[in-house]
Amino acid sequence: MVEINERKLRAIYLDDEEMLLTAMGHILTEFGLEVTTHSDPDMALESMDKDRRGFDLALIDFRMDKKNGAEVLREMANHQFYDIPYVALFSAMPYLPEINEAFDQYGLNEYKIYRITKSYSETRELRHLLEEMKKGH
């Protein structure tokens, strides 16, 4: 279980693909996090706004129909990331040039946003991020 000061870490995960939302939700729960999932970007943003400082980690999928992950991250940046200390972008591909383009377009390169790919190394990258979170608190 991942805890800080005897409190279970809370994550919010946004992905418009229900199967991935369910699967990653289970993985995050197995890692010991309390997980809130959303398939709608606007609902996720509303949840983050209503529960400021309530989440320790935000995981945002890059490719979504309604808004892509970079657009969601830009909105989060406009609100100081809703005081969420760790923010990560997920990608279905190991490397997508369009992610770098989107980060440039939305001015996201100045922020510390982790990039985790939905690949075979996904859980290793996620574990590394969770270990960093524990050390940082």
Amino acid 27: pLDDT: 87
Q: How far apart are CA 42 and CA 48, in angstroms?
A: 10
Amino acid 32: pLDDT: 87
Amino acid 58: pLDDT: 96
Amino acid 130: pLDDT: 80
Amino acid 134: pLDDT: 72
Picking from 2-6, 11-15, 43-47, 104-108, which range would have the lowest pLDDT averaged per residue? 2-6
Amino acid 79: pLDDT: 96
Q: Which of 66, 49, 48 is nearest to 57 (CA)?
A: 48
Query: What's the pLDDT tens digit per position in 81-136?
Result: 999 999 999 886 766 788 889 999 999 999 999 888 766 555 667 778 888 887 76
CATH number of the structural domain 3-130: 3.40.50.2300
Amino acid 95: pLDDT: 63
- When comparing pLDDT for 74 and 114, which is higher? 74
> Which alpha helices (DSSP H) does 6-115 contain, by range?
18-30, 41-50, 69-78, 97-105
Write out 20-41 in H/E/C secondary structure.
HHHHHHHHHHHCCCEEEEECCH
User: Domain-by-domain residue ranges, the chain?
Assistant: 3-130
Name every residue whose Cβ is closer than 8 Å to that of residue 35 and which is 6 or more positions away in sequence: 10, 11, 12, 13, 25, 28, 29
Amino acid 1: pLDDT: 54
